[in-house]
A and B are shown apart, each in its own frame.
Chain A
Amino acid sequence: MTNSGTTTTAVTPTSQRRRTSAVIGDIYRRTGMAAVLIILIITMSVTAPNFLTAANLLDVASQTSVVAILGAGATFVILTGGIDLSAGSALGVGAMVAMVLASAGAPGVVCVLACIAACTAAGLLNGFFIAYWGLPSFIVTLAALTYLRGLVYVGTNGTTVFLPTLDFAWLGQGTVLGVPVPVIIMVLVFAAGWLIINRTVFGRHVLSVGGNSAAASLAGISVRKTLLWVYIIAGICVGIGAVISAARLQSASPTIGTGYELNAIAAVVLGGTSLMGGRGSILGTLVGALIVGVLANGMTLMNVPSFYQLIVQGAVIIAAVGIDKLSTRRRR
């Protein structure tokens, strides 16, 4: 302090002020959307009949689980500054593989593992093109959105594969101590994701590649490997989502999962993760997914026609992200 002389007095108060505002900003970023969720839940409790019952709330969580799990994977991708548009189609491939194998008589374990493996492979292929060929993630995953959907049509022969009995149906429909299995899986996925991002070396690498990939490379981080793994993780998440979807519906239709990727991305963005990469929170994604889920459930209970629900959903995304943006700007 003594030899730093006058600069110390010049710098410290400013930094402390900035620090305080940064901390407030951080709390807001972490809880701001949670506040939106709570307000939404309170509103729905008052206006929607039967909303605030344990059964309905678990139902919401269960319905949200697939998009939320896809969102967990998408959070990794978006943290690196990329985007994954192929999640919905990949989920279709996974569900198709599981159901086709099941209808051929394969045991549940095989179906589940094959489903996750198929989705992981799809993610790996995306990651390979993006990390090693340097293609833009938007293009690569847009292409995957198309060719994977084509695969689903080929695999299902264009018709819905349905099984009246399915030995892994409990993964989508079962409960443990009253809690639906998909909700438990969702919580586990987010716990693992949170640990990876916040507590592992790999997590730091993800953030640094997203924050400044040139600097990350010069600092001795393998940008390619990091990117590849990020898409593999996204693929695993999609695989888990596909298992739940197939198990819940006991079927795979050719259009299963269509549009899920956009809901997942919406959840990530609502959760405060920057599309530019380098900054964000995976728990925010969970909150974001629940906002969308609660909104849809509440509106259904209030008998809002589904066409109108879509309009409200879109408007809510703009409003929530807009409010966040405005309040961030005011602090600057």
Chain B
Amino acid sequence: MTQADQGSFVSLKGIGKSYSGNRVLGDVSVDFYPGEVHALAGENGAGKSTMMKILSGVIQPDDGELLVHGRRVEFTSVLDARALGIAIIHQELSLAGNMTVADNISLGNEPRRRLFRDRRMTDERARELLARVGADFAPGVLVSTLSPGQQQLVEIARALGDEPSFLILDEPTASLSEGEAERLREIVKQLRAAGIGIVYITHRMAEISELADRITVLRDGRVIASLDGGTDMEEVVHLMVGRSIENAFESGRPSPGEPVLVVDSMSGAATAPATFAVRSGEIVGMAGLVGAGRTETARLIIGADPQHAGSVSLNGNRLTGRTPKKTVRQGVVLLPESRKEDGLFMQQSIADNICLSVLGTAARLGFLRRRQLAKVASDYIAMLGIRCAGPNQLVSELSGGNQQKVLLARCLAQSPKVLILDEPTRGIDVGAKAEIYEAVNRVAGSGVGVLMISSDLTEVLGMSDRVLVMREGRLVATLAKNESSEDTIMRYASGVATPQTTEQMRQAHT
């Protein structure tokens, strides 16, 4: 059993881990080799992160053993793992935004000269490491001014500072734009070529297909399959979820009706005047790179940020003096991009989160009718298939996909006329994605106008009746279903194609 594979750098042998009697990882044996990208695939809750925590010394396994270069090791902390050359980059970035890139890179390991820190050395080392990841920004800039993709590069540069021989990347591209993600994948390939072993966790199947030399599929805390990089992704997905997900986008919706939301020359601090409409029963996709002004547009519509000029009308009535409170009342509801920061109340129950915006309708003289609220919550839990212990479970205990469903449930509970979804499936697993698509299609089918912002082009193309493309704060194209393709969208989003004229866009609306 403990016959260690000669070439492997790190091996897990029969690793098991339980939390208060519940087995989250059982009898897991995997070998990781240098100079290979080893993808871990599995739905949320499959045990990927537990495995990563064991590999990087954050937690210790109950059973089994961990071998490095064939020798049995026991990590008591992250530092032990790091000393053996194992570095991890967590999904949530851990940079101090108020400090410079160079200071972040040398954080905890500051070069010093006698009592003082050596600033020149700090900068020099940062510059060297940044060059290795192909970063184009200076070591002296503040981290808070960088884009998520650039920050991810800083994280990698910092990890490389320890000269690791084994690097774990946990969903490194989850919050990156397509262009940034592509660059990150290039860097991963370079690191692989340099002989570094890489564990890569992602929900993007295309990335696995592009990068992986080896794929380990986890399900319910067990290794379901170890596959070659060339495996068909359909099969990987099938193994991950234990069922096949076909036609996730299939809708059978009736064709859209009259315009319900009309945005006319609306502009704000970060966006140029934009004109578009969303019809009832229509799903309008909004594509663009991160920072193209899509979230800003959504916030302008619902009145979260002040509008500079233009107007927004709902069913022909102009919405003036918009605030989130007013627009929500009138039926324009936003599912915000960041469910943790702008969406959910982590310390509160599922029921409280779902019912928050409809408390008024379920109250008598300000007092809550709790039975009615419980029913509303249970209905949505059933409708969206939220997997939980019950409506009173805390939202913080749910997986990302189920949290997202709770947030969607709150939006739906407000009986919207227009639903604006900002990155509705970011960072969630394929199964949950399919369920969200189904719900959105159903909502649109019932006559709601849907504006869906997404960086996932497959999703934009699969779901949308029309696609709006934004670039640098401007609406640059409106594409009908038959004109839109990944290629066309990317050409407009990246500025390769000349923006459409206002006339062209107007035609696309009619």
Contacts and interface: CB of A to CB of B under 8 A. Distances in A.
Most buried by A among B343, B356, B431: B356
B356 A6 contact: no
B325 A220 contact: yes
A212 B346 contact: yes
Most buried by A among B19, B24, B43, B342: B342
Nearest to B18: A17
Given A17-B19, A221-B356, A200 B367 contact: yes
A6 B220 contact: yes
B388 A278 contact: no
B345 A212 contact: yes
Contacts of B241: 5-7
Interface in A209-229: 211-212, 214-222
Contact of B220 (A9, A15, A218): A9
A21 interface: yes
A325 interface: no
A199 B368 contact: yes
B243 A215 contact: no
A11 B44 CA distance: 9
A13 interface: yes
A199 B387 contact: no
Contacts of B323: 222
B75 to A, nearest CB: 20
Interface stretch (B33-41, B162-170, B272-280, B393-401): B393-401
Nearest to B352: A204
Interface string B337-355: 0000111111110001000
Contacts of A207: 345, 348, 352
Contacts, number: 136
Interface string A100-113: 00000000000000
A204 B328 CA distance: 18
Given A7-B241, A15-B393, A218 B368 contact: no
Nearest to A196: B366
Interface in A170-222: 195, 199-202, 204-205, 207-208, 211-212, 214-222
Interface string A268-304: 0000000000110000000000000000000000000
Interface in B366-383: 366-368, 370
A165 interface: no
Interface in B390-439: 390, 393-394, 397-399, 402, 410, 414, 431
B242 A220 contact: no
Chain A interface size range: 35 or more
Most buried by B among A3, A9, A208, A220: A220
Nearest to B429: A7
B22 A219 contact: no
A27 interface: no
Nearest to B356: A219
Given A204-B356, A208-B348, A5 B366 contact: no
Nearest to A280: B347
B243 A5 contact: yes
Most buried by B among A8, A16, A201, A205: A201
B26 to A, nearest CB: 12
Interface stretch (B6-14, B60-68, B262-270, B357-365): B357-365
B45 interface: yes
A204 B324 contact: no
Contact of B341 (A9, A21, A202, A214): A214
Chain B interface size range: 35 or more
B499 interface: no
B205 to A, nearest CB: 17
A14 interface: yes
B359 A218 contact: no
B342 A220 contact: no
Interface string A3-46: 11111111111111111011000000000000000000000000
B318 interface: no
B267 to A, nearest CB: 21
Most buried by B among A18, A216, A217: A18
Contacts of B219: 6, 10
Interface string B308-319: 000000000000
Nearest to A4: B385
Contact of A7 (B24, B328, B431): B431
Contacts of B336: 215, 218
B342 A214 contact: yes
Contacts of A195: 367
A220 B46 contact: no
A279 B347 contact: yes
Contacts of B387: 4, 7-8, 11-12, 15
A37 to B, nearest CB: 25
A262 to B, nearest CB: 26
Contact of B345 (A4, A5, A13, A278): A278
A221 B323 CA distance: 10
A205 B345 CA distance: 11
Given A11-B45, A279-B347, A218 B356 contact: no
B221 interface: yes
B21 interface: yes
Sort A-B residue pairs by CB-CB distance and give the 8 closest, nearest first: A220-B328, A211-B345, A6-B242, A201-B359, A19-B389, A15-B389, A10-B220, A11-B387
Given A13-B22, A201-B367, 4 more contacts: A7-B45, A201-B363, A208-B348, A219-B410
18 contacts: A4-B387, A5-B242, A5-B431, A7-B387, A10-B45, A11-B387, A14-B19, A16-B389, A19-B390, A201-B360, A201-B366, A204-B352, A208-B352, A212-B344, A212-B346, A215-B342, A218-B324, A218-B336
